[in-house]
A and B are shown apart, each in its own frame.
Chain A
Amino acid sequence: MLQINDIKKNFGPIEVLRGVTFSVDAGECIAVVGDNGAGKSTLMKIITGVYKASDGAVMLADKEITGTEPGEIRELGVEMIYQNLELASQQDVTANIFLGREPTMRFMGWDTGVIDFKSARTQAQEMIRQLGARLPSVDIQVGNLSGGQQQSVAIARALTFSPKVVIMDEPTAALAVREIQHVLDLIKELKSRGIAVILISHRLTDVFEVADRIVALRQGVVIADERTGETTMQDVVAHIVGAH
């Protein structure tokens, strides 16, 4: 589904990614693990088009998407829940779920650019309901929500437009135990629907519960790419900290 071929990235003189290669199949969950600063978030932002790779290629269903604008990559079915969520705190839940994809009204086949608030609100409510998220209202300003609720909004935004690939950058960092379990259940459901999932997490128990493969990143290179059933938590920890 998604292939990453020899991606390199430098910010000025600093080489953050030094040739990263791996792939994710449909219905598969890959966990990307690594120490802080290993380059995980940078790699994911290259996939979504937020950063431009210095070298290498990203392929989606055998078509190269390297260098494509973030909006087009979303259009192609790649969604990401960013580590810092990237919500507009002064806008309401509906506006955030539809950020960048507001439904507009048409007039004789012509896009008027006028937002269809009613349809957006109804769909946002439906999405929140499906996810079983507990929000007081979709009309509430996102800045007034708790961290967990904001996370729900970011997740709802990623899932509203039937994605093919979902990237989650530490989606459970701000969550309580029960909420974490809910995210893990959601990942399993996405997999069963044939969606490819890339999960970045420091919580190895979570990784072992949902991931099919674990890719360990250290200083910008893949130092291990193993099936979950064929490795142990000790091995993964060793990869992360660089013991061997």
Chain B
Amino acid sequence: MPNTEAASSGASPASAAVPRNKGALRVESLIVLAILVAVMAFASPYFFTVPNILNVVLATSTIGILALGATFVIGSAGIDLSVGSILAFAGVIGALVASTLGLPWWLAIPAAVLAGAFAGWINGLVITYGNVPAFVVTLGMMGVARGVALLITDGQAIYGLPAPLIWLGQGRPFGIPVPALVFIVVAIILHFVLSYTRFGRHTLIIGDNERGARAMGVPVRSLRIKIYILSGMMAGLAGLLTTARVNAGDPTAGMTFELSAITAAIIGGTNLFGGRATILGTVIGALIMGVLQNGLNLLAIPSFWQQISIGVVLVAAVWLDQFAKRGRE
């Protein structure tokens, strides 16, 4: 309203009204992915074979599903360090339901997802109503969920899953692994949720300016709780798929996966400080993680190096982002 002069009145002529989430999808991540693929293809003749591509896709799916949850959490300026542990906890619950308890196999699906949602709900409640920083709460949950998984299994993996459940992890309809199909479907749904719904919009707004969002009537607390529930559900889903794939409810599964999930979201363009995120970016980020892990395997580089490289990639991605920001200012 200031700047009276009648000259240019208001906004530009109508162009297509599309949701904009500017700057979130960085071309950089696509370039990184392309370079990584080129290097791997050059280094190993096996890289571009169908079985290996399916391996990449499979590796991407688990991290990718966790990273989809992390996209919402980090987009809202939160953090969830507990997803690796919740994955194990929910995977064990799913195995327990379908194997030990002998219930119908399909009950393992809601059981695992609800177990994850429950852990996420606890995270959200303590963060919002307890005013404890998300970093601390989810670090605590990392210990608790892992501990509970070990406790109820007595530290032993649960074997003997029914065949239909195993199919969820190992089946390949049309040649595509089921976990990959699940990842794609969930990614499409969450892309829609993040970019087109009030829930998604408000997620990014509370990450941008929480106090302002509250002043404008956004129900910040309930929204945050829902976001952590979503993250927990994604971990639960990933846990179920992992259990199905390895045909065991393993309480030690998903160790350090939170590191990979957060890294995937960040290199996909999610603003570590909240307010900016896209699902497409995260999918690219997850692919980068998948290719990296697969490539290091192919090149027979010891798995310890994978941890090192993921850690380095995470810090480098944030550092580059900060560097670019300083350049713009």
Contact = CB atoms under 8 A, between A and B. Distances in A.
Most chain B CB within 10 A, of A125, A151, A186, is at A125
Interface in B87-104: none
Contacts of A1: none
Contacts of A102: 198, 201
B322 interface: no
B218 A125 contact: no
Contact of A113 (B7, B198, B218, B271): B198
Contact of B275 (A88, A99, A129, A178): A88
Interface string B1-28: 1111111111110110111101100000
Size range of the chain B interface in the assembly: 35 or more
Interface in B230-284: 271, 275-276
Contacts of A156: 1
A30 B6 CA distance: 29
Contact of B215 (A82, A176, A180): A82
A45 B212 CA distance: 12
Nearest to B18: A117
Interface in B198-234: 198-199, 201, 204-205, 208-209, 211-219
Contact of A149 (B3, B22, B196, B215): B3
B131 to A, nearest CB: 15
Nearest to A148: B2
Interface in B155-170: none
Interface in A64-105: 69-75, 80, 82, 85-93, 95, 99-102, 104
B44 interface: no
Contact of B217 (A70, A92, A104, A121): A70
User: What DSSP secondary structure best describes chain B's contact surface?
Assistant: loop
Contacts of A155: 1
Point out which of A99, A129, A138, A183 has the most chain B C-beta atoms below 10 A from its C-beta. A99
Interface residues of A, number: 65
B4 A182 contact: yes
B52 interface: no
Contacts of A88: 204-205, 208-209, 212-213, 275
B3 A179 contact: yes
A148 to B, nearest CB: 5
B17 A87 contact: no
B197 interface: yes
A162 interface: no
B1 A99 contact: no
B208 A89 contact: yes
A99 B3 contact: no
A34 B282 CA distance: 50
Contacts of A181: 4
Contact of A134 (B7, B211, B216, B271): B7
B236 to A, nearest CB: 23
A20 interface: no
Given A113-B197, A122-B14, A48 B1 contact: no
Contacts of A129: 9-11
A124 interface: yes
A114 interface: yes
A104 B198 CA distance: 8
Nearest to A88: B208
B217 A71 contact: yes
Given A70-B216, A156-B1, A125 B10 contact: yes
B185 to A, nearest CB: 19
A188 to B, nearest CB: 13
Given A100-B216, A101-B217, A139-B12, A91 B208 contact: yes
Interface string B111-145: 00000000000000000000000000000000000
Nearest to A178: B4
17 contacts: A50-B211, A69-B217, A71-B217, A86-B211, A86-B216, A88-B205, A88-B209, A90-B276, A91-B208, A102-B198, A113-B197, A133-B1, A133-B10, A138-B10, A141-B22, A151-B2, A183-B2
